[in-house]
């Protein structure tokens, strides 16, 4: 039998991968098709036009750019160098424990406050951006944890801020998990719309080995049901933002926590985080009543000149540790 042409093998591997992605409802392609605009069709003397070289939405474009950036970063700092650097990094903080503790103290969802200058949907949010100033304000205002990019986390940790830190980069490669730990991350964000089940399982195992937490983000019922079937998931984030058009509907959290899912979540003791579109005490009450134990908030806080005052406005009360101490004294 003649040997199967290499291009046929590549086509078959791609077909199998696309079938897996389709079954799992993956909506964001990890990378564009490679190669020239046209490709040879097997041993025959004609060519077919390549399709799909244009990102279908903003998030897909970001993921494709991330793929290129990570490739360059890995060349400059190989995994072996990250392994050597790990022993010198301070031990990770208990991210999930911090959220639970703040919820117990305040009676409100634990807050993950996001440190960022801009967002894909809104552009620049805080022109006078100082990650350390903002992080200190969040900590003073009662945030349980903080989130940010690689470089923001490094600056925040080096400034002595004590809140556990979530690396909110677009994780597509296990190398990034080690890099996040080096930068001071205590948890990482894994997006189900980007990562198939096999990658989620692999990356959550590495995350646990590094003693970090994994916040697995879902956007719809298909992704939620996928993630609930996976073993070892401790924390799920429900993003209320539509990935394709960036529209926000905070009732998405409510709808994804109805029915049998709420029972599975309780049985597995999964901590649920509501993400995006939360800006008022009524918003917080809605998602808390739906069953979340924590919220991740960025835009409505980071645009405030006084981050601590922004947190008080978000929750409708002062949730700072100083305020909680005073309540205890005068109770």
Would you say residue 120 has pLDDT above 90? no
- What is the arithmetic mean of pLDDT over 114-140? 85
Would you say residue 30 has pLDDT above 80? no
Q: Report the percent of the chain where pLDDT is more than 90.
A: 67
Question: What SS3 state is found at 292?
Answer: coil
Measured distance CA(78)–CA(73) in Å, rounded: 8
Q: Report the percent of the chain where pLDDT is more than 70.
A: 79
**DSSP-derived secondary structure letter, 55:** -
Is the distance from CB of 81 to CB of 88 less than 8 angstroms?
no
Q: What is the mean pLDDT of the chain?
A: 86
Tokens of 22: 């389709």
Would you say residue 219 has pLDDT above 90? yes
Binned at pLDDT 50, 70 and 90, residue 258 comes out as very high
Which residues in the chain belong to E strands, given as ranges? 38-40, 47-49, 110-114, 118-119, 123-124, 145-148, 165-167, 187-191, 213-218, 235-239, 271-275, 294-297
pLDDT of residue 308: 94
Q: Which of 43-47, 120-124, 222-226, 313-317 has the lowest mean pLDDT?
A: 43-47
Measured distance CA(95)–CA(164) in Å, rounded: 5
Would you say residue 4 has pLDDT above 50? no
CA distances from 50 to 28, 56, 87, 194, 320 (A): 18, 15, 46, 22, 56
- What is the arithmetic mean of pLDDT over 284-311? 94
Best-predicted range by mean pLDDT among 4-8, 45-49, 247-251? 247-251
Would you say residue 112 has pLDDT above 50? yes
Structural domains of the chain, with CATH:
1-54 (no CATH), 86-315 (3.20.20.70)
| Among 285, 281, 225, 302, CA closest to 251 | 285
Note the pLDDT tens digit of each residue in 143-202: 999 999 999 999 999 999 999 999 999 999 999 999 999 999 999 999 999 999 999 999
Q: Which of 34-38, 229-233, 265-269, 310-314 has the lowest mean pLDDT?
A: 34-38
pLDDT of residue 11: 45
**DSSP-derived secondary structure letter, 90:** P
pLDDT of residue 103: 97
pLDDT of residue 61: 77
Note the pLDDT tens digit of each residue in 70-106: 999 999 999 999 999 999 999 999 999 999 999 999 9
């Amino acid at each position: 039998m003649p040997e199967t042409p290499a291009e046929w093998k590549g086509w078959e591997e791609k077909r199998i991968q696309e079938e897996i992605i389709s079954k799992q409802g993956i909506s964001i392609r990890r990378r564009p098709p490679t190669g020239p605009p046209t490709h040879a069709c097997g041993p025959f003397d004609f060519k077919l036009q390549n399709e799909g070289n244009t990102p279908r939405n903003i998030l897909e474009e970001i993921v494709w750019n991330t793929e290129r950036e990570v490739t360059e970063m890995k060349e400059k700092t190989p995994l072996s160098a990250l392994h050597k650097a790990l022993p010198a990094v301070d031990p990770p903080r208990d991210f999930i424990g911090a959220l639970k503790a703040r919820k117990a103290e305040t009676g409100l969802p634990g807050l993950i406050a996001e440190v960022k200058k801009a967002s894909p949907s809104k552009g620049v949010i805080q022109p006078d951006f100082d990650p350390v100033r903002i992080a200190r304000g969040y900590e003073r205002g009662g945030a349980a944890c903080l989130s940010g990019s690689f470089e923001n986390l490094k600056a925040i940790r080096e400034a002595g801020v004590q809140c556990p830190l979530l690396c909110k980069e677009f994780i597509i490669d296990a190398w990034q998990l080690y890099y996040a730990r080096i930068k001071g991350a205590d948890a990482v964000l894994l997006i189900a719309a980007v990562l198939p089940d096999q990658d989620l399982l692999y990356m959550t195992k590495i995350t646990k080995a590094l003693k970090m937490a994994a916040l697995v983000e879902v956007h719809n019922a298909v992704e939620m049901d996928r993630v609930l079937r996976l073993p070892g998931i401790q924390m799920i984030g429900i993003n209320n933002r539509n990935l394709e058009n960036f529209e926000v509907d905070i009732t998405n959290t409510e709808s994804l926590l109805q029915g049998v899912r709420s029972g599975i979540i309780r049985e597995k003791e999964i901590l649920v985080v509501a993400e995006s579109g939360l800006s008022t005490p009524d918003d917080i009450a809605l998602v808390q009543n739906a069953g979340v134990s924590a919220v991740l908030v960025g835009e409505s806080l980071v645009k405030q000149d006084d981050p601590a005052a922004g947190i008080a406005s978000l929750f409708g009360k002062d949730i700072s540790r100083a305020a909680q101490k005073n309540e205890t004294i005068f109770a």
